[in-house]
């Protein structure tokens, strides 16, 4: 399967029904986060003019859903087969989607192409949907950033509208004007610290490159290496890899972990034929040195374009990346564009 051959789901329209799902972590059903979830649900309905329903097990809590990965699979199959549901948005990420895979029927995904969006551990499901031949979307979850305290920021709102509610070409993805780290305890915008965004930076490479987007959140993808769902060689060919590599805000917080992860992907051969990498901020020092050492010396790709500080990582705001969509990086202009629509 090549990324250009993925089935493209229909756009979501005002008045449609959208299902919220706990396919990974189940914290939305826990007492301390239920109100935050309800805020996100009401906000999504109001802003985008849709009706939101939960999948049958979405709010049964983290302990129940951890103990019952088969119920998470049932929820996905239910949402895909339900003719009233036009799109699916993940409530949160997590760290064990791989446990759900034995219980899914990829034919249900293949025969019911629908918008499916989320990030973090949801990168596992981007790979699963690609295996089934369907485009999915690496983008905002409900609990963060959709339910962030205060309001949904304009950058994230626009990204959602352009990618899953419109069939127009998405176009240029500009850097957000400011950002903040994920804050699970804040209850108001006054408790959030915003930082001015320095914009994109080209770590290496030159010219204009085009390739199809494929998403990596390292830990989840490492967990499914060796399974049939790990993206095949053809999917990495001429791709632009959206890779949340190690950085000061990396969820792993370890240069050694980042190095081992990068080498695992190098050993799997996925870095040899990609056109470029987009990533979050890569601080000068060990993280940057490790990235360049592995890419240039070990993989032998000093020609690979690497664009940093793109807004698809574990922070707010977030853009939306349609898996398989053709994208372009212009190194001189320091620009990133998606040259296709996300939906039809």
- The pLDDT score that the predictor gives to residue 248 is 45
Q: What angle do CA 97, 59, 249 make, to 5 degrees?
A: 50
pLDDT tens per residue across span 195-248: 999 999 999 999 999 999 999 888 888 999 999 999 999 999 999 999 988 644
Q: Which of 88, 97, 159, 90 is nearest to 128 (CA)?
A: 97
> Is beta strand 85-90 parallel, antiparallel or unpaired with respect to 115-118?
parallel
- The pLDDT score that the predictor gives to residue 249 is 47
Residues 6+ apart with CB under 8 A from 314: 119, 120, 181, 182, 244, 249, 250, 251, 280
- Cis bond before residue 317 (omega within 30° of 0): yes
Q: Report how far residue 236's alpha carbon sits from residue 197's, in angstroms, rounded to the nearest whole number.
A: 30
3-state helix, strand, coil in the chain (%, to 5): 35, 20, 45
Q: 191-338 has which CATH code?
A: 3.50.30.60
Asked, colleague to colleague, whether 3-168 and 191-338 share their fold, the answer is no
Please report, for the chain, the start and end positions of each structural domain, with discontinuous segments joined by +.
3-168, 191-338
Q: What is the CA radius of gyration of the chain?
A: 19
Tokens representing 107? 């034919």
Q: Report how far residue 6's alpha carbon sits from residue 163's, in angstroms, rounded to the nearest whole number.
A: 16
Mean pLDDT within 259-267: 91
- The pLDDT score that the predictor gives to residue 181 is 87
- Number of H helices and E strands in the chain, helices first, is 10, 17
Specify the higher pLDDT residue, 191 or 280: 280
Residue 304 and residue 276 in contact, taking contact as beta carbons nearer than 8 Å: yes
Residue 94: Cβ-neighbour burial (10 angstroms; 0-12, 13-18, 19+): buried
Strand partners, 136: none
Residue 255 confidence (pLDDT) above 50: yes
Mean pLDDT within 132-158: 96
Q: Report how far residue 240's alpha carbon sits from residue 227's, in angstroms, rounded to the nearest whole number.
A: 22
CA dihedral 52, 56, 62, 63 (to 10 degrees): 170
- The pLDDT score that the predictor gives to residue 253 is 66
Mean pLDDT within 150-159: 96
pLDDT tens per residue across span 91-105: 999 999 999 999 999
Residue 326 confidence (pLDDT) above 90: yes
Determine which of 145-154, 184-193, 215-224, 278-287 has the lowest per-residue pLDDT on average.
184-193
**Given 3.40.50.10740, 3.40.50.460, 3.30.565.10, 3.40.50.800, which CATH number is that of 3-168?**
3.40.50.10740
> pLDDT band at residue 259, thresholds of 50, 70 and 90?
confident
Residue 14 confidence (pLDDT) above 50: yes
- The pLDDT score that the predictor gives to residue 106 is 97
- Average model confidence (pLDDT) for the chain? 94
- The pLDDT score that the predictor gives to residue 173 is 98
Sign of CA dihedral 227, 228, 231, 234: positive
Residue 185 confidence (pLDDT) above 90: no
pTM for the whole thing? 0.96
Residues 6+ apart with CB under 8 A from 253: none
Mean pLDDT within 317-343: 98
pLDDT tens per residue across span 66-85: 999 999 999 999 999 999 99
Half-sphere exposure of 299 (CA within 13 A, CB side): 24
- The pLDDT score that the predictor gives to residue 252 is 56
Q: Report how far residue 254's alpha carbon sits from residue 258's, in angstroms, rounded to the nearest whole number.
A: 6
Residue 28 and residue 92 in contact, taking contact as beta carbons nearer than 8 Å: yes
């Amino acid at each position: 399967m090549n990324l250009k051959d993925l089935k493209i789901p229909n756009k979501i329209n005002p008045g449609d029904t959208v299902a919220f799902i706990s396919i990974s972590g189940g914290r939305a059903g826990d007492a301390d986060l239920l109100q935050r979830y309800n805020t996100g649900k009401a906000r999504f309905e109001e802003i985008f003019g849709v009706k939101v329903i939960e999948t049958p097990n979405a709010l049964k809590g983290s302990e129940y859903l951890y103990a019952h990965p088969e119920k998470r699979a049932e929820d996905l199959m239910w949402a895909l087969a339900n003719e009233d549901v036009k799109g699916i948005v993940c409530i949160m990420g997590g760290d064990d989607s791989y446990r759900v895979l034995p219980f899914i029927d990829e034919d249900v995904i293949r025969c019911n192409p629908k918008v499916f969006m989320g990030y973090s551990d949801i990168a596992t499901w981007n790979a699963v949907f690609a295996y089934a031949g369907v485009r999915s979307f690496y983008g905002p979850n409900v609990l963060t950033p959709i339910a962030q305290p205060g309001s949904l920021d304009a950058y994230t709102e626009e990204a959602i509208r352009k990618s899953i509610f419109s069939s127009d070409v998405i176009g240029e993805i500009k850097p957000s004007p400011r950002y903040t780290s994920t804050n699970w305890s804040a209850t108001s915008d006054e408790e959030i610290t915003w930082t001015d965004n320095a914009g994109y930076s080209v770590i290496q490479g030159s010219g204009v490159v085009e390739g199809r987007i494929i998403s990596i959140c390292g830990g989840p993808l490492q967990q499914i290496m060796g399974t049939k769902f790990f993206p095949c060689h053809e999917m990495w060919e001429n791709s632009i890899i959206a890779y949340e590599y190690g950085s000061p805000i990396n969820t792993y917080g370890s240069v050694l972990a980042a190095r081992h992860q990068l080498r695992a992907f190098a050993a799997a051969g996925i870095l040899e034929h990609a056109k470029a990498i987009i990533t979050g901020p890569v601080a000068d020092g060990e993280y940057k040195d490790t990235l360049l050492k592995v890419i240039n010396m070990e993989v032998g790709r000093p020609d690979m374009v690497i664009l940093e500080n793109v807004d698809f990582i574990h922070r707010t705001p977030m853009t939306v990346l349609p898996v398989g969509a053709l994208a372009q990086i212009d190194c001189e202009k320091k620009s990133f564009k998606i040259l296709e629509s996300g939906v039809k």
